[in-house]
Amino acid sequence: MTAALKAGLIGLGSMGRHHARVLMALEGVDLVGVVDPMGDKNGWAQGAPVLRDVEELLDVGIDYAVVACPTGLHEEIGLRLADAGVCVLIEKPLADSVEGALRLVHAFESRGLVAGVGHIERCNPALRSLRDRLREGELGDLYQIVTRRQGPFPHRIADVGVVKDLATHDIDLTAWMTGRSYVSIAAHTVSKSGRPYEDMVSAVGRLSDGTMVNHLVNWLSPLKERFTSVTGERGCLIADTLTADLTFYSNASVATEWEALRAFRGVSEGDMIRYAIPKREPLLVEHELFRDAVQGLSADICTLRQGLRTVEVAASLLDSARTGRTVVFEREESIPRGV
Protein backbone atom coordinates (compact mmCIF):
# COMPACT_ATOMS: atom_id res chain seq x y z
CA MET A 1 0.00 0.00 0.00
CA THR A 2 1.37 3.46 -0.90
CA ALA A 3 1.57 6.16 1.80
CA ALA A 4 -1.16 8.80 1.84
CA LEU A 5 -0.33 12.06 0.07
CA LYS A 6 0.05 15.06 2.35
CA ALA A 7 -2.11 17.95 1.17
CA GLY A 8 -2.37 21.55 2.36
CA LEU A 9 -5.10 24.10 1.71
CA ILE A 10 -4.48 27.82 1.27
CA GLY A 11 -7.55 30.00 1.78
CA LEU A 12 -10.51 28.98 3.93
CA GLY A 13 -13.27 31.14 2.48
CA SER A 14 -16.47 30.20 0.68
CA MET A 15 -14.67 27.91 -1.79
CA GLY A 16 -11.89 26.84 0.57
CA ARG A 17 -14.41 25.44 3.06
CA HIS A 18 -15.61 22.95 0.44
CA HIS A 19 -12.04 22.01 -0.46
CA ALA A 20 -11.39 21.34 3.26
CA ARG A 21 -14.47 19.10 3.51
CA VAL A 22 -13.58 17.10 0.38
CA LEU A 23 -9.85 16.85 1.18
CA MET A 24 -10.58 15.61 4.70
CA ALA A 25 -12.62 12.69 3.30
CA LEU A 26 -10.52 12.00 0.20
CA GLU A 27 -9.13 8.48 0.01
CA GLY A 28 -5.33 8.32 -0.14
CA VAL A 29 -4.87 11.91 1.08
CA ASP A 30 -4.26 13.51 4.49
CA LEU A 31 -5.14 17.17 4.94
CA VAL A 32 -2.18 18.25 7.11
CA GLY A 33 -2.71 22.01 7.32
CA VAL A 34 -4.91 24.92 6.33
CA VAL A 35 -3.58 28.46 5.85
CA ASP A 36 -5.73 31.54 6.32
CA PRO A 37 -4.61 34.81 7.92
CA MET A 38 -8.13 35.16 9.32
CA GLY A 39 -7.84 31.78 11.08
CA ASP A 40 -10.81 29.43 11.18
CA LYS A 41 -13.47 31.77 12.49
CA ASN A 42 -16.31 29.71 10.99
CA GLY A 43 -15.12 26.26 12.06
CA TRP A 44 -14.53 25.11 8.47
CA ALA A 45 -11.05 23.55 8.89
CA GLN A 46 -12.47 20.07 9.65
CA GLY A 47 -10.05 19.67 12.55
CA ALA A 48 -6.93 20.23 10.41
CA PRO A 49 -4.22 22.47 11.94
CA VAL A 50 -4.79 26.13 11.00
CA LEU A 51 -1.56 27.93 10.08
CA ARG A 52 -0.66 31.57 9.59
CA ASP A 53 1.13 31.49 6.26
CA VAL A 54 2.47 29.36 3.42
CA GLU A 55 5.92 29.09 5.06
CA GLU A 56 4.41 27.32 8.07
CA LEU A 57 2.61 24.92 5.73
CA LEU A 58 5.85 24.20 3.87
CA ASP A 59 7.54 23.48 7.21
CA VAL A 60 4.89 20.81 7.90
CA GLY A 61 5.90 19.11 4.61
CA ILE A 62 3.33 18.62 1.83
CA ASP A 63 3.10 16.78 -1.49
CA TYR A 64 0.55 19.19 -2.92
CA ALA A 65 -1.46 22.29 -2.09
CA VAL A 66 -4.88 23.56 -3.08
CA VAL A 67 -4.85 27.33 -3.58
CA ALA A 68 -8.25 28.88 -2.81
CA CYS A 69 -7.30 32.39 -1.70
CA PRO A 70 -8.43 35.51 -3.64
CA THR A 71 -7.49 35.43 -7.34
CA GLY A 72 -5.09 38.37 -7.00
CA LEU A 73 -2.85 36.19 -4.76
CA HIS A 74 -2.74 33.06 -6.95
CA GLU A 75 0.43 34.08 -8.74
CA GLU A 76 2.50 35.03 -5.69
CA ILE A 77 1.47 31.96 -3.71
CA GLY A 78 1.70 29.63 -6.71
CA LEU A 79 5.26 30.79 -7.50
CA ARG A 80 6.34 30.22 -3.89
CA LEU A 81 4.93 26.67 -4.00
CA ALA A 82 6.67 25.95 -7.32
CA ASP A 83 9.91 27.18 -5.81
CA ALA A 84 9.43 24.74 -2.94
CA GLY A 85 8.81 21.86 -5.38
CA VAL A 86 5.16 21.39 -4.37
CA CYS A 87 2.41 20.34 -6.83
CA VAL A 88 -0.69 22.59 -6.90
CA LEU A 89 -4.33 22.70 -7.74
CA ILE A 90 -5.06 26.43 -8.17
CA GLU A 91 -8.62 27.72 -8.10
CA LYS A 92 -9.94 29.37 -11.25
CA PRO A 93 -9.04 31.70 -12.81
CA LEU A 94 -5.36 30.69 -12.84
CA ALA A 95 -4.25 34.32 -12.30
CA ASP A 96 -5.60 37.83 -12.63
CA SER A 97 -3.34 38.67 -15.59
CA VAL A 98 -2.01 36.89 -18.69
CA GLU A 99 1.57 37.65 -17.61
CA GLY A 100 0.96 36.17 -14.16
CA ALA A 101 -0.63 33.04 -15.64
CA LEU A 102 2.32 32.68 -18.02
CA ARG A 103 4.80 32.93 -15.14
CA LEU A 104 2.92 30.16 -13.32
CA VAL A 105 2.99 27.92 -16.42
CA HIS A 106 6.76 28.41 -16.72
CA ALA A 107 7.38 27.86 -13.01
CA PHE A 108 5.59 24.50 -12.84
CA GLU A 109 6.48 23.17 -16.31
CA SER A 110 10.19 23.96 -15.92
CA ARG A 111 10.28 21.97 -12.65
CA GLY A 112 8.18 19.10 -13.98
CA LEU A 113 5.60 19.56 -11.20
CA VAL A 114 1.98 18.43 -11.55
CA ALA A 115 -0.26 21.51 -11.57
CA GLY A 116 -3.90 22.06 -12.41
CA VAL A 117 -6.62 24.70 -12.40
CA GLY A 118 -9.92 24.22 -10.57
CA HIS A 119 -12.21 24.73 -13.55
CA ILE A 120 -14.88 22.74 -11.78
CA GLU A 121 -17.51 22.88 -14.52
CA ARG A 122 -15.45 20.21 -16.31
CA CYS A 123 -16.45 17.89 -13.47
CA ASN A 124 -20.17 18.67 -13.63
CA PRO A 125 -21.97 15.43 -14.60
CA ALA A 126 -24.19 17.20 -17.17
CA LEU A 127 -21.20 18.72 -18.98
CA ARG A 128 -19.16 15.51 -18.80
CA SER A 129 -22.00 13.63 -20.43
CA LEU A 130 -22.48 16.44 -22.98
CA ARG A 131 -18.80 16.29 -23.89
CA ASP A 132 -18.93 12.49 -24.34
CA ARG A 133 -21.97 12.85 -26.59
CA LEU A 134 -20.28 15.51 -28.73
CA ARG A 135 -17.26 13.23 -29.09
CA GLU A 136 -19.55 10.40 -30.19
CA GLY A 137 -21.02 12.73 -32.84
CA GLU A 138 -24.56 12.81 -31.38
CA LEU A 139 -25.21 16.30 -32.78
CA GLY A 140 -23.24 15.97 -36.04
CA ASP A 141 -21.69 19.27 -37.14
CA LEU A 142 -21.82 21.97 -34.48
CA TYR A 143 -23.35 25.36 -35.26
CA GLN A 144 -23.50 27.30 -32.01
CA ILE A 145 -22.72 27.21 -28.29
CA VAL A 146 -24.62 29.53 -25.95
CA THR A 147 -23.89 29.90 -22.24
CA ARG A 148 -25.78 31.97 -19.69
CA ARG A 149 -24.39 32.42 -16.18
CA GLN A 150 -26.39 34.92 -14.20
CA GLY A 151 -27.02 35.57 -10.54
CA PRO A 152 -26.90 38.09 -7.73
CA PHE A 153 -23.86 40.02 -6.62
CA PRO A 154 -21.25 38.12 -4.50
CA HIS A 155 -20.02 40.78 -2.05
CA ARG A 156 -16.91 38.79 -1.13
CA ILE A 157 -15.33 38.98 -4.63
CA ALA A 158 -13.57 42.35 -4.63
CA ASP A 159 -10.41 41.90 -6.67
CA VAL A 160 -11.74 41.01 -10.14
CA GLY A 161 -14.83 41.64 -12.29
CA VAL A 162 -17.39 39.18 -13.58
CA VAL A 163 -15.34 38.33 -16.69
CA LYS A 164 -12.38 36.93 -14.74
CA ASP A 165 -14.51 35.52 -11.94
CA LEU A 166 -17.41 33.90 -13.82
CA ALA A 167 -16.98 34.11 -17.60
CA THR A 168 -13.74 32.13 -17.26
CA HIS A 169 -15.97 29.14 -16.40
CA ASP A 170 -17.77 29.55 -19.74
CA ILE A 171 -14.60 30.08 -21.76
CA ASP A 172 -12.96 27.00 -20.27
CA LEU A 173 -15.96 24.70 -20.55
CA THR A 174 -16.58 25.71 -24.17
CA ALA A 175 -13.01 24.97 -25.27
CA TRP A 176 -12.82 21.76 -23.18
CA MET A 177 -16.19 20.37 -24.26
CA THR A 178 -15.57 20.91 -27.96
CA GLY A 179 -11.81 20.32 -28.01
CA ARG A 180 -11.58 23.55 -30.03
CA SER A 181 -9.89 26.86 -29.30
CA TYR A 182 -11.21 30.40 -29.68
CA VAL A 183 -10.11 32.17 -32.86
CA SER A 184 -11.96 35.44 -32.17
CA ILE A 185 -13.90 37.20 -29.44
CA ALA A 186 -15.83 40.47 -29.11
CA ALA A 187 -17.77 41.78 -26.14
CA HIS A 188 -19.68 44.56 -24.44
CA THR A 189 -19.56 45.06 -20.69
CA VAL A 190 -21.34 47.32 -18.22
CA SER A 191 -20.59 48.24 -14.63
CA LYS A 192 -23.70 49.08 -12.64
CA SER A 193 -22.62 48.30 -9.09
CA GLY A 194 -20.32 51.30 -8.68
CA ARG A 195 -17.13 49.22 -8.44
CA PRO A 196 -14.10 49.62 -10.72
CA TYR A 197 -14.84 46.31 -12.47
CA GLU A 198 -17.53 45.19 -14.91
CA ASP A 199 -20.50 43.22 -13.60
CA MET A 200 -22.24 42.27 -16.85
CA VAL A 201 -20.87 40.97 -20.15
CA SER A 202 -22.25 39.89 -23.48
CA ALA A 203 -19.69 38.16 -25.73
CA VAL A 204 -19.69 36.65 -29.18
CA GLY A 205 -16.86 34.54 -30.52
CA ARG A 206 -15.83 31.85 -32.95
CA LEU A 207 -14.03 28.54 -32.41
CA SER A 208 -11.37 27.02 -34.64
CA ASP A 209 -13.94 24.76 -36.39
CA GLY A 210 -16.20 27.75 -37.16
CA THR A 211 -18.67 27.11 -34.32
CA MET A 212 -20.29 30.36 -33.16
CA VAL A 213 -20.19 31.09 -29.41
CA ASN A 214 -22.26 33.43 -27.21
CA HIS A 215 -21.72 34.06 -23.51
CA LEU A 216 -24.12 36.12 -21.35
CA VAL A 217 -22.69 36.49 -17.86
CA ASN A 218 -23.59 38.82 -15.01
CA TRP A 219 -23.87 39.51 -11.30
CA LEU A 220 -26.97 41.65 -11.77
CA SER A 221 -29.77 39.14 -11.91
CA PRO A 222 -31.97 37.85 -9.08
CA LEU A 223 -32.35 34.72 -11.23
CA LYS A 224 -29.53 32.22 -10.72
CA GLU A 225 -28.83 30.45 -13.97
CA ARG A 226 -26.07 28.14 -15.25
CA PHE A 227 -27.09 27.24 -18.79
CA THR A 228 -25.12 25.71 -21.68
CA SER A 229 -26.69 24.84 -25.02
CA VAL A 230 -25.02 23.27 -28.01
CA THR A 231 -26.88 23.35 -31.32
CA GLY A 232 -25.82 21.13 -34.17
CA GLU A 233 -27.16 19.49 -37.31
CA ARG A 234 -29.17 16.81 -35.43
CA GLY A 235 -30.62 18.94 -32.64
CA CYS A 236 -29.67 20.65 -29.44
CA LEU A 237 -28.18 19.51 -26.10
CA ILE A 238 -28.88 21.65 -23.04
CA ALA A 239 -26.99 21.32 -19.76
CA ASP A 240 -28.16 22.92 -16.53
CA THR A 241 -25.14 22.79 -14.26
CA LEU A 242 -27.11 23.87 -11.17
CA THR A 243 -29.23 20.72 -11.30
CA ALA A 244 -26.75 18.66 -13.39
CA ASP A 245 -29.49 17.86 -15.91
CA LEU A 246 -28.81 17.20 -19.57
CA THR A 247 -31.62 17.33 -22.12
CA PHE A 248 -31.57 16.44 -25.81
CA TYR A 249 -33.99 18.19 -28.19
CA SER A 250 -33.82 16.18 -31.39
CA ASN A 251 -34.70 17.33 -34.88
CA ALA A 252 -37.73 15.42 -36.20
CA SER A 253 -36.88 12.63 -38.61
CA VAL A 254 -40.48 11.98 -39.74
CA ALA A 255 -41.80 14.00 -42.70
CA THR A 256 -44.54 16.34 -41.61
CA GLU A 257 -47.97 16.01 -43.21
CA TRP A 258 -49.02 19.52 -42.52
CA GLU A 259 -48.63 21.60 -45.69
CA ALA A 260 -48.11 24.90 -43.88
CA LEU A 261 -45.21 23.46 -41.86
CA ARG A 262 -43.73 21.57 -44.80
CA ALA A 263 -43.11 24.88 -46.54
CA PHE A 264 -40.58 25.76 -43.85
CA ARG A 265 -37.36 24.05 -44.85
CA GLY A 266 -35.44 24.38 -41.57
CA VAL A 267 -35.48 21.85 -38.77
CA SER A 268 -38.61 20.69 -37.02
CA GLU A 269 -39.27 19.60 -33.46
CA GLY A 270 -38.62 15.97 -32.60
CA ASP A 271 -38.41 14.04 -29.34
CA MET A 272 -37.09 15.54 -26.15
CA ILE A 273 -35.10 13.29 -23.82
CA ARG A 274 -33.75 14.11 -20.37
CA TYR A 275 -30.87 11.74 -19.86
CA ALA A 276 -30.50 9.82 -16.61
CA ILE A 277 -26.89 10.43 -15.62
CA PRO A 278 -25.04 9.52 -12.42
CA LYS A 279 -24.64 12.72 -10.39
CA ARG A 280 -21.38 12.70 -8.41
CA GLU A 281 -20.25 15.84 -6.61
CA PRO A 282 -18.12 17.85 -9.08
CA LEU A 283 -15.60 18.97 -6.42
CA LEU A 284 -15.00 15.37 -5.34
CA VAL A 285 -14.41 14.34 -8.97
CA GLU A 286 -11.98 17.27 -9.41
CA HIS A 287 -10.05 16.20 -6.30
CA GLU A 288 -9.95 12.53 -7.30
CA LEU A 289 -8.54 13.46 -10.71
CA PHE A 290 -5.92 15.75 -9.21
CA ARG A 291 -4.87 13.21 -6.56
CA ASP A 292 -4.47 10.60 -9.32
CA ALA A 293 -2.37 13.02 -11.38
CA VAL A 294 -0.07 13.70 -8.38
CA GLN A 295 0.25 9.93 -7.90
CA GLY A 296 1.49 9.72 -11.48
CA LEU A 297 -1.66 8.15 -12.90
CA SER A 298 -3.18 9.32 -16.14
CA ALA A 299 -5.93 11.81 -15.18
CA ASP A 300 -7.79 14.37 -17.26
CA ILE A 301 -7.05 17.53 -15.24
CA CYS A 302 -7.23 21.13 -16.46
CA THR A 303 -3.59 21.98 -17.10
CA LEU A 304 -2.02 25.34 -16.31
CA ARG A 305 -1.50 25.84 -20.03
CA GLN A 306 -5.24 25.43 -20.60
CA GLY A 307 -5.87 27.77 -17.65
CA LEU A 308 -3.54 30.31 -19.26
CA ARG A 309 -5.48 30.12 -22.53
CA THR A 310 -8.71 30.85 -20.66
CA VAL A 311 -7.11 33.87 -18.96
CA GLU A 312 -5.93 35.09 -22.38
CA VAL A 313 -9.41 34.82 -23.90
CA ALA A 314 -10.90 36.61 -20.85
CA ALA A 315 -8.32 39.41 -21.18
CA SER A 316 -9.10 39.74 -24.89
CA LEU A 317 -12.79 39.93 -24.12
CA LEU A 318 -12.10 42.88 -21.80
CA ASP A 319 -9.86 44.47 -24.48
CA SER A 320 -12.69 44.15 -26.98
CA ALA A 321 -15.17 45.76 -24.57
CA ARG A 322 -12.75 48.65 -24.08
CA THR A 323 -11.78 49.24 -27.71
CA GLY A 324 -14.97 48.21 -29.47
CA ARG A 325 -12.95 45.87 -31.74
CA THR A 326 -13.10 42.15 -32.30
CA VAL A 327 -9.94 40.39 -31.08
CA VAL A 328 -8.62 37.80 -33.54
CA PHE A 329 -6.14 35.26 -32.16
CA GLU A 330 -3.19 34.73 -34.46
CA ARG A 331 -2.16 31.38 -33.01
CA GLU A 332 -4.08 28.70 -31.17
CA GLU A 333 -1.24 28.16 -28.68
CA SER A 334 -0.01 31.25 -26.89
CA ILE A 335 3.44 29.89 -26.01
CA PRO A 336 5.45 27.09 -27.52
CA ARG A 337 5.80 23.89 -25.52
CA GLY A 338 8.87 23.48 -23.35
CA VAL A 339 9.49 27.24 -22.92
- Which residues within the stretch 89-148 sit at the binding site for ligand NAD (CB under 6 A)? 91-92, 118, 120
Nearest-approach distance from CB 185 to ligand NAD, in angstroms: 20
Among 7, 29, 57, 68, binds ligand NAD (CB under 6 A): 68
Long-range contacts of 240-243 (CB under 8 A, 24+ apart): 240/126, 241/121, 241/124, 241/126, 241/127, 243/126
Binding segment for ligand NAD (CB under 6 A), chosen from 9-17, 103-111, 187-195, 306-314, is 9-17
Nearer to ligand NAD, 162 or 216 (CB): 162
Q: Where are the alpha helices (DSSP H) in 113-210?
A: 125-135, 162, 168-178
Could you tell me if residue 98 is left (phi over 0), alpha (psi between -120 and 50 degrees) or otherwise beta?
alpha
CB of residue 120 to ligand NAD, shortest distance in Å: 4
Cis amide bond preceding 125, omega within 30: no
The yes or no reply on residue 28 touching ligand NAD (CB under 6 A) is no
Whole-angstrom Cα distance, residue 199 to residue 314?
Answer: 14
19 vs 291 by CB, closer to ligand NAD: 19
Handedness of CA 312, 73, 289, 40 (dihedral sign): negative
* Least distance (Å) between residue 209 CB and ligand NAD: 27
Q: Which of residues 245-284 bind ligand NAD (CB under 6 A)?
A: none
CA-nearest of 166, 286, 161, 164 to 224 is: 166
Of 71 and 231, nearer to ligand NAD (C-beta) is: 71
| Closest separation in Å from C-beta 13 to ligand NAD | 2
For residue 190, report the phi and psi dihedrals to the nearest 5 degrees: -135, 160
Q: Count the residues of the shown chain that bind ligand NAD, applying the rule CB under 6 A.
A: 22
Judged by CB under 6 A, does residue 304 bind ligand NAD? no
Residues forming a β-bridge with 51: 35
Binding site for ligand NAD (CB under 6 A): 10-16, 35-38, 68-71, 73, 91-92, 118, 120, 156, 165
